[in-house]
Amino acid sequence: MAEDRGELLVGLGAPAGLCGSCRFALLNRTRRGTVYLRCGLATEDDRFAKYPRLPVMECSGFRQFEGGTDPVRPSPPGVAR
């Protein structure tokens, strides 16, 4: 079962700033429980840090996350959301 975005943000250990509400923020929890945030824009545009230093206060790539199914963090193959 996929974790809620809000639960993952709490597990970051630092305020996310803009990344906390950005549609391009990819949030993952490791098997050991560590949560990390990766910028989805960094894969195609090297102006963006892959793992930004938190909290991010300004970002030219910021786009508000609208809720619902996260288009940037799809479910693993074979797992329905």
The rounded radius of gyration (Å) of the Cα atoms in the chain is: 12
> For residue 38, what are the β-bridge partners?
26
Return the structure tokens found at 62.
Answer: 């910021």
Q: Does residue 36 belong to any structural domain of this protein?
A: yes
3-class DSSP state of 70: coil
Q: Would residue 23 count as lying in a domain?
A: yes
Mean pLDDT of 39-59: 95
Look at residue 13 in the predicted model and tell me its pLDDT: 86
Task: Give me the domain span that covers residue 27.
Answer: 1-59
CA geometry: angle 43, 51, 16, nearest 5 deg: 120
User: CA-CA distance, 47 to 79, in Å (whole number)?
Assistant: 33
Beta strands at 35-39 and 25-29: parallel, antiparallel or unpaired = antiparallel
Does 64 reside within a domain? no
73 in any annotated domain = no
- pLDDT at position 79 is 39
* pLDDT at residue 71 tops 70: no
**pTM value > 0.85:** no
